[in-house]
């Protein structure tokens, strides 16, 4: 564990300040947990009979400012179980947490706000760390209020969660708020409706998007490109059903851990099934469907297929968090010494794919290389010698490809090391998208084998690869990244063809036919609206090109093209225009 | 209803003969039902304590021959309930059927075998019809024995079902047996394994095929071609999830009828889901996702997506009968007066698709036009004037396209008339594959609307279209039709490239690259085996072309090609070869 950066400490201390401020206004309040988050912080409260709403934010913020101005020292203090319990005699939440910590054999640490003459103004059970004093927090804001169950369990008490944000100075807060406004403008749920990309139906249910024609074009354009990139590297596509007997997950080892997060399927028939939440166990069955020799390796099985996960309704969000997630999955079965070459191929695909999206640039992405925690070798399954090789292969590949990578100890899964690719979108948010994971365990669980050069049975290693990840989440990211104005190769509609008036219709028809034959996605937009209005509508629909056809164009055969977001037209030949629709 | 043809009468009478023969050998036997089937007939028996096995077939057949030789007249007789019950005092199955028929207010008809002096040799409850006498049955054979529940209900008594076949003469029987042998040779389950097209896993479960790389190439080649044909007619592809809340089927009206045949899905989450057994209700939700105008019609939504049906394990069969069936579905929403033009487009697609498979030929297919039973207008929902139009549109389209069609009264669904396409395979079996159904009811159930030219709300009509039908079943048909030797455009591997010896490897590599760039699916087959053996293996794998590269080919740049099933090579240019891979 490394020390969290200053912004996380700021949020954590701000959370305690909010907690103390609430205590000044509501002396009987009890408190749940209050951590920092990726963007801010929160604290759960049990207000008892008191009514608290967003009308109280100002009052609480005023008290918080008072605490910041007081510049209390934030000091750690260790207590015994007895002392700790005595400090919160009436707070059943704290008492429950204290007992749990003691049960785990851990120590009880508290953080105090300490004022003049060592007087403790406020204290809370907390593992830390924090800023040195409340004065260092800077500017803050309470942003919203929501219900939250104690321990996230809907059978337990419902608490009130207050959310907040904190920054070093007013500029930080302002930049954050500008980002939020920008994010709201490009919210994929809003754009999805405006651009008619997908829809939800109450009859079908939450978390289950239906992709309308333009959305499906977007989906399949991404999917087809990924398929083409993968096939160029010798990946073979396969097809598996969306359900399976639970026997498959009992063998893979997922059953015990995840059975409560799966959708269970039952008919009047012989067996009970589950919907697949991942594809790897199914793909092992294709590997195992016949005897394999070393000559068959690497066997690279790819498939873009939909998985189902029983997400809680409250956590569903547009395409970002769905119950039906379509993964562009690949599983490579190979020998240990083939890992490096295969990983090079994977990086090639990731590079080409994200380059075509202009996301593979300088400091717009970074790669985490997750390896073992050297101090806890017992956490990892498989032969340490194989782990050594795999980790060093991945690091070599990262170096050979000049990837901006960070080696993170202790972040490897128990089954193998991995590379994760984090991309920044146009407004600075970071998304983990592509991944390459090595797996020593699943081939063992399924007893996968191939016959090596010496005629002996040997176990392959398995690589899990996703380039876009879940297509639904990937689409939510790029819809917001581009604010709906996709690069031409990806846009569902690449161009509108606009006759200046009805005399130019025939030429437009011929042109559309020519472009469609070349695979272009073009639509005709007749002259019942004015040319100006049509060009504006074309921009509103984020169509990359408006092609205007008048007398001059009919005569020359060239195209007058207005690019999305530009004020001026350019003249192109038909071939130049076709080239402009490519991935460049 | 028209009179069934002579072959069906033959099977029906043979079933009674078998039933009578069994009664001669087992006087205490009780009888369930005994109908004709598409290929033969069967009769269910309750043998009580007696043990009956296939060792008894010869004995039963001997008695059957005796009955045929006796040439009993087969005569119908009507009985009252009292008389009927008295005739079968100890047969609970007959008594149950008798009561049911009386409950429906229908009459009880019996068929007797009548011998000399009017003596009744055998009698059975039966609606008929039959041949005139047992002597007309010709040759017959008992083929197998299986368990069958009374009324198909696993909670009721288990009976013994004897199956048989019957033909006019020995040649008929022989031709049938030759067909069966040929069918066994081309059984898609056997070929699927030999050609490595698909597999089943015990861990995943029965009825859930996994498509291996070559099988998925076959699947996606069919799917991609269908997509291309549909897009050329302005069909737009969409995407829907595989599950839905049951609310969707309550609205569509399927819930009451089919809820026991669905897979039910349950998580810990808010709602209960079901796996979709069809796609139309989901697609209505895309139509309904925004306001539609007459200008948006026809709206043609296409999708090849997997449905799930809870088939009984005993009924599953390779790819022919599966639990995961992938349908190439299209739903067109249009005005009544657009039906004919849309149907013309559908016929175009069906014609092109089946022509590319050489199945659209002379008497190799026919089309059933299912219309209302004019005597039972109450069976059909929707405005009769619309039905009149729809039926006449479909008939015009059949005539305009010179389709070999039969108009079948009473075969329309309650929701609309339809065209079904029946194709004969290479060994004469008939398969219903493509379909076009008109539906007046579903738009009503979902209250679908568009705004017409007058600004008023109007209900569209819905067309259900499938070109290949279920891809799994379609693949089972064409694997057997071609006996695995697919036309080049469809073959998973289109050619093997064979160097005469290692000196020709480099040329082969270049050639493979050129062909792959042109989209060809070619594989290299190195010279470690003899050329003769490699050519034989190529034929064994049903690869359409073996390309042999020796000195002559390196020098000329031409290809020496051995076509599948041929004994002689031909010389082609690379371009000629590329053309040979097309759909011609």
**Three-state secondary structure string covering A319-378:** CCECCEEEEEEEEEEECHHHHHHHHHHHHHHHHHHHHHCCCCCHHHEEEEEEECCCCCHH
Given A481, A508, A532, the domain boundary residue is A481
Asked whether residue B173 falls in the same domain as residue B119, the answer is yes
- The answer to whether position B490 is within a domain reads no
Asked whether residue A383 falls in the same domain as residue A245, the answer is yes
Tokens of B6: 């002579």
Asked whether residue A266 falls in the same domain as residue A289, the answer is yes
| Rounded Cα–Cα distance for residues B180 and B167 (Å) | 15
Contact A210 B237 (CB under 8 A): no
Query: What's the CA angle centered on B259, arms B101 and A199, to 5 degrees?
Result: 145
**Any idea what the CATH number is for the domain that residue B522 is in?**
3.40.50.800
Contact B267 A216 (CB under 8 A): no
Tell me the shortest Cα–Cα distance from A407 to chain B, in angstroms: 36
Asked whether residue A39 falls in the same domain as residue A154, the answer is yes
| Rounded Cα–Cα distance for residues B220 and B240 (Å) | 19
Tell me the shortest Cα–Cα distance from B470 to chain A, in angstroms: 14
Asked whether residue A246 falls in the same domain as residue A143, the answer is no
Tell me the shortest Cα–Cα distance from A335 to chain B, in angstroms: 20
Tell me the shortest Cα–Cα distance from B296 to chain A, in angstroms: 13
Residues of B in contact with A263 (CB under 8 A): 243, 265-267, 273
| Rounded Cα–Cα distance for residues B481 and B429 (Å) | 9
- The answer to whether position B339 is within a domain reads yes
- The answer to whether position A1 is within a domain reads no
Chain A, nearest residue to B252 by Cα: A203
Contact B212 A241 (CB under 8 A): no
The two beta strands, A365-371 and A324-334, are unpaired
Listed as own residue / partner, the contacts of A483-486 with beta carbons closer than 8 Å and 24 or more positions apart are A483/A185, A483/A186, A483/A191, A483/A426, A483/A542, A484/A186, A484/A191, A484/A194, A484/A195, A484/A542, A485/A542, A485/A544, A485/A564, A485/A565, A486/A218, A486/A542, A486/A544
Given B186, B211, B228, the domain boundary residue is B186
Tell me the shortest Cα–Cα distance from B204 to chain A, in angstroms: 4
Tell me the shortest Cα–Cα distance from B259 to chain A, in angstroms: 10
- The answer to whether position B487 is within a domain reads no
Q: Which of A153, A195, A216, A475 to mutate to test binding with chain B, by most B CBs within 10 Å of its CB? A: A216
CA torsion sign for A237, A242, A243, A249 is positive
> Out of A219, A242, A270, whose CB is closest to B306?
A242
Residues of A in contact with B311 (CB under 8 A): 269
Tell me the shortest Cα–Cα distance from B348 to chain A, in angstroms: 19
Sheet strands side by side (includes A559-563): A522-524, A495-499, A545-549, A559-563, A569-572
* Spans of chain A, pLDDT less than 50: 1-3
Residues of A in contact with B237 (CB under 8 A): 213, 216-217, 220
* Spans of chain B, pLDDT less than 50: 1-3
How high does pLDDT run on average in chain B? 93
- Can you spell out the DSSP letters for A432-467? EEEEEEEESSHHHHTT--EE-TTS-EEPPEEEEEEE
Contact B210 A310 (CB under 8 A): no
Contact A265 B269 (CB under 8 A): no
Gap between the terminal Cα atoms of chain B: 42
Contact B243 A308 (CB under 8 A): yes
How high is the pLDDT of residue B189? 95
Asked whether residue B181 falls in the same domain as residue B254, the answer is no
- The answer to whether position A26 is within a domain reads yes
Tell me the shortest Cα–Cα distance from A137 to chain B, in angstroms: 40
Contact A264 B263 (CB under 8 A): no
Tell me the shortest Cα–Cα distance from A513 to chain B, in angstroms: 11
Contact A286 B262 (CB under 8 A): no
Contact B267 A243 (CB under 8 A): no
Contact B213 A237 (CB under 8 A): yes
- The answer to whether position B48 is within a domain reads yes
- The answer to whether position B459 is within a domain reads yes
Contact B248 A201 (CB under 8 A): yes
Give pLDDT tens digits for A403-449. Answer: 999 999 999 999 999 999 999 998 888 999 999 999 999 999 999 99
CB half-sphere exposure, A134, CA atoms < 13 A: 26
Contact A211 B238 (CB under 8 A): yes
Cβ neighbourhood burial of B90 (10 Å; 0-12, 13-18, 19+)? exposed
**Any idea what the CATH number is for the domain that residue A349 is in?**
3.30.930.10
| Rounded Cα–Cα distance for residues A137 and A116 (Å) | 19
Choose among A336, A345, A395, A335: nearest CA to A367.
A395
How high is the pLDDT of residue B128? 85
CA torsion sign for A318, A346, A253, A275 is positive
Asked whether residue B176 falls in the same domain as residue B198, the answer is no
Tokens of B355: 């022509």
Contact B211 A260 (CB under 8 A): no
Task: Calculate the CA A124 to chain-centre distance.
Answer: 33
> Out of B201, B267, B270, whose CB is closest to A285?
B201
Chain A, nearest residue to B286 by Cα: A212
Contact A204 B282 (CB under 8 A): yes
**DSSP reduced 3-state for B100:** helix
Any bridge partners for residue B561, and if so which?
Answer: B547, B570
Burial A97-106 (b: 16+ CB within 10 A, else e): bbeebeeeee
Q: Which of A241, A271, A471 to mutate to test binding with chain B, by most B CBs within 10 Å of its CB? A: A241
Asked whether residue A428 falls in the same domain as residue A565, the answer is no
Asked whether residue B444 falls in the same domain as residue B523, the answer is no
Choose among B20, B105, B22: nearest CA to B70.
B20
Contact A219 B199 (CB under 8 A): no
Asked whether residue B181 falls in the same domain as residue B224, the answer is no
How high is the pLDDT of residue A2? 42
Place of tokens 């849309």: B342
Residues of B in contact with A323 (CB under 8 A): 241, 243
Question: Which positions ≥6 away from A465 have C-beta within 8 Å?
Answer: A329, A330, A331, A332, A346, A435, A436, A437
Contact B288 A201 (CB under 8 A): yes
Tokens of B72: 């009993």
| Rounded Cα–Cα distance for residues A162 and A64 (Å) | 13
Asked whether residue B180 falls in the same domain as residue B259, the answer is no
Tell me the shortest Cα–Cα distance from A412 to chain B, in angstroms: 29
Choose among A77, A76, A64: nearest CA to A135.
A64
Check residue B440 and report its DSSP letter.
S
Asked whether residue B161 falls in the same domain as residue B195, the answer is no
Contact B205 A271 (CB under 8 A): yes
| Rounded Cα–Cα distance for residues A512 and A523 (Å) | 8
Q: Which of B221, B265, B296, B472 to mutate to test binding with chain A, by most A CBs within 10 Å of its CB? A: B265
**A287, A300 contact by CB (below 8 A):** no
Chain B, nearest residue to A263 by Cα: B267
Q: Which of B255, B267, B275, B325 to mutate to test binding with chain A, by most A CBs within 10 Å of its CB? A: B267
Choose among A122, A95, A102: nearest CA to A110.
A122
Residues of B in contact with A270 (CB under 8 A): 206, 312-313
Given A459, A481, A503, the domain boundary residue is A481
Structural domains of chain A, count: 3
- The answer to whether position B76 is within a domain reads yes
Question: Which positions ≥6 away from A111 have C-beta within 8 Å?
Answer: A16, A74, A75, A76, A77, A123, A124, A126, A128, A130
Q: How many CB pairs under 8 A join A and B?
A: 194
The two beta strands, A461-470 and A430-439, are antiparallel
**Any idea what the CATH number is for the domain that residue B78 is in?**
3.30.980.10
Residues of B in contact with A286 (CB under 8 A): 199, 210, 212
Contact B285 A209 (CB under 8 A): no
Tell me the shortest Cα–Cα distance from B326 to chain A, in angstroms: 10
Tokens of B380: 């059909």
Give pLDDT tens digits for A328-365. Answer: 999 999 999 999 999 999 999 999 999 999 999 878 99
Contact B285 A203 (CB under 8 A): yes
**Structural domain of residue A528, as residue ranges?**
495-580
CA torsion sign for A308, A311, A316, A320 is negative
């Amino acid at each position: 564990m490394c020390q969290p950066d200053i912004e996380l400490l700021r949020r954590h201390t701000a959370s305690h300040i909010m907690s103390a401020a609430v205590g000044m206004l509501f002396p009987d309040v009890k408190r749940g947990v209050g951590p920092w988050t990726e963007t801010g912080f929160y604290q759960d409260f049990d207000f008892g009979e008191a009514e608290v709403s967003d009308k109280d934010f100002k009052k609480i913020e005023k008290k918080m400012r008072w605490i910041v101005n007081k510049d209390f020292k934030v000091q750690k203090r260790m207590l015994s179980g007895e002392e700790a319990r005595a400090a919160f005699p009436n707070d059943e939440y704290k008492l429950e947490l204290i007992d749990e910590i003691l049960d785990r054999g851990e120590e009880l640490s508290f953080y105090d706000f300490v004022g003049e003459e060592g007087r403790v103004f406020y204290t809370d059970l907390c593992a830390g760390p924090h800023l040195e004093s409340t004065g260092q927090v800077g500017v803050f804001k309470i942003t919203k209020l929501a219900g939250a169950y104690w321990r996230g369990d809907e059978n337990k008490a419902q608490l009130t969660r207050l959310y907040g944000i904190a920054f070093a100075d007013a500029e930080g807060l302002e930049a954050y708020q500008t980002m939020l406004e920008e994010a709201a403008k490009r919210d994929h749920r809003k754009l999805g409706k405006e651009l008619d990309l997908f829809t939800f139906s109450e009859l079908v249910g939450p978390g289950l998007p239906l992709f309308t024609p333009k959305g499906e074009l977007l989906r399949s354009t991404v999917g087809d490109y990924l398929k083409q990139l993968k096939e160029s590297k010798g990946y073979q596509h396969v097809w598996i059903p969306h359900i399976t007997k639970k026997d498959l997950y009992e063998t893979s080892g997922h059953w015990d851990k995840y059975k409560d997060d799966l959708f269970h399927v039952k008919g009047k028939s012989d067996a009970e099934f589950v919907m697949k939440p991942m594809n790897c166990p199914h793909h092992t069955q294709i590997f195992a469907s016949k005897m394999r020799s070393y000559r068959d390796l690497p066997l690279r099985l790819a498939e873009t297929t939909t998985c189902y996960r029983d997400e809680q309704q409250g956590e569903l969000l547009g395409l970002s968090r769905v119950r039906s997630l379509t993964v562009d999955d690949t599983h490579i079965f190979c020998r240990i010494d083939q890992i490096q070459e295969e990983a090079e191929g994977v990086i090639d695909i990731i590079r080409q794919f994200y380059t075509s999206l202009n996301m593979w640039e300088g400091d717009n992405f970074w790669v985490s290389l997750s390896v073992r925690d050297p101090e806890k070798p017992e956490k990892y399954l498989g032969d340490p010698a194989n782990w050594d090789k795999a980790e060093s292969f991945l690091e070599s590949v990262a170096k050979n490809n000049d990837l901006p990578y960070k080696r993170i100890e202790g972040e490897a899964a128990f089954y193998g090391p991995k590379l994760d690719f984090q991309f920044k979108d146009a407004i600075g948010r970071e998304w983990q998208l592509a991944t390459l994971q090595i797996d020593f365990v699943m081939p063992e669980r399924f007893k996968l084998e191939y016959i090596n050069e010496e005629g002996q049975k040997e176990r392959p290693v398995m690589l899990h690869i996703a380039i876009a990840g879940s297509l639904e989440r990937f689409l939510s990211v790029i819809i917001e990244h581009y604010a709906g104005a996709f690069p031409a190769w990806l846009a569902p509609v690449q161009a509108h063809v606009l006759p200046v008036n009805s005399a130019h219709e025939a030429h437009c028809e011929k042109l559309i036919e020519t472009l469609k034959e070349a695979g272009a996605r073009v639509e005709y937009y007749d002259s019942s609206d004015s040319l100006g209005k049509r060009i504006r509508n074309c921009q509103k629909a984020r169509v990359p090109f408006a092609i205007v056809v008048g007398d001059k164009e009919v005569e020359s055969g060239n195209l007058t093209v207005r690019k999305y977001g530009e004020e001026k037209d350019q003249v192109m030949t038909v071939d130049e225009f076709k080239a402009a629709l490519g991935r460049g």
